[in-house]
Amino acid sequence: MMNIMTSKSLTVAIAVPLESEHVEAIRAANPDVTVLYEPELLPPERFPADHTGDPAFVRTAEQEAHYWEMLHSADVLYGFPNESAAGLAAIASSNRLKWIQAMAAGAGGAVKAAELSADDLARITVTSSAGVHALPLAEFAVMGALNGLKRTAELAADQAEKHWPELRTPTRLASGSNAVITGLGEIGLETARLARALGMNVSGTKRTVEAIEGIDQVTDTAGLPGLMATADVVINTLPGTPYTEKMINADIFNAMKPGTVLVNVGRGTVVDEEALLEALNNGQISYACLDVFAVEPLPVTSPLWEHPRVTVSPHTSALSEAENRLISERFMENLKRFQAGEHLLHTVDLVHFY
């Protein structure tokens, strides 16, 4: 149980770019909480939910000192300082800090990279924005599945060449097809909901195996090869951890039937990219829609850029115009819990770092 913080003693600092309307909503919902927000100290957003802000932005020496003074005066931070693991490591020395609301769903990676001490990890709770991105990610995943089943990559290639094929190739129905979702968390379950709405049969994996309404079969990672044998579409939503690294590898691709569609909206490290290229070239994978990669930005030398049956998305599938509003609403809900000494939603797992 967290220490109960009374409203009058509580200070929140906004550490990352955020529209003033959302700052005012936080203030209005918590009139007794001091909310520190100085937009001149924050880089301007280049697009909605640009939490890093314009990289060309530079604070003066006086502004830099003021920025860190503001953060050190807070009990709660909205965002990592400078939206980076280095910023998190720097603020961890603040004895006053008790909780940070991270902007990313996969905030565990930054927490791990910050290499905080055991004492700091015990004292500072970090909550992620997991779940906020579930719907846009699910919609993107279903788009990728439909692209594969409906051969849109081939259609785009024919259009670019102004080629009208003499022999027409049939597409595959989504309805009645089998989708396997690796990672039946919030994103996976939202993806499953949309897939079922299209008439797809859905199975998947979960660390703790349990029956889930609407899911035909739930297994752990050990059961994944068995699910592959009948999968028409495989959708990864898993985070990047030492336990998931290259989980979808040559053995898993070989367990698939020829022509399987692969969609990745989790983390790029979950998929062995060399094995994926081999599976694309030998026909095990008919099409891959990839929003995430082992190395980002995707190196210009990667053959994935020019593969005719791959769609490359620059890790933007979670981005929506509603993102900042949804994160701020999540923060306000957690702020009530924090003040009451209750467990916060979506705390970062400090064992698996997701």
Beta bridge partners of 287: 261
Local structure of residue 294 (DSSP, 8 states): S
Q: How many residues does the chain have?
A: 354
Residue 51 annotated in active site? no
* CA 24 from centre of chain: 26
Residue 45 annotated in active site? no
- Among the listed residues 51, 133, 151, 267, the single catalytic one is 267
- Among the listed residues 315, 325, 337, 352, the single catalytic one is 315
Q: Which of 321, 327, 269 is nearest to 104 (CA)?
A: 327
Residues sharing a CB contact under 8 Å with residue 21, sequence separation 6 or more, in sequence order: none
Q: Are 15 and 354 in contact (CB under 8 A)?
A: no
Q: Which of 235, 205, 238 is nearest to 222 (CA)?
A: 205
- Among the listed residues 38, 115, 296, 321, the single catalytic one is 296
Cα torsion 90, 96, 102, 107 to 10°: value is 60
Q: Is the dihedral of CA 190, 196, 198, 203 positive or negative?
A: positive
The Cα–Cα gap between 41 and 20 comes to 13
Written as six digits, the tokens of 298 are 């995707």
Residue 267 annotated in active site? yes
The Cα–Cα gap between 299 and 278 comes to 18
The helix (run of H) or strand (run of E) holding residue 195 is: helix 186-197
Active site residues: 267, 296, 315
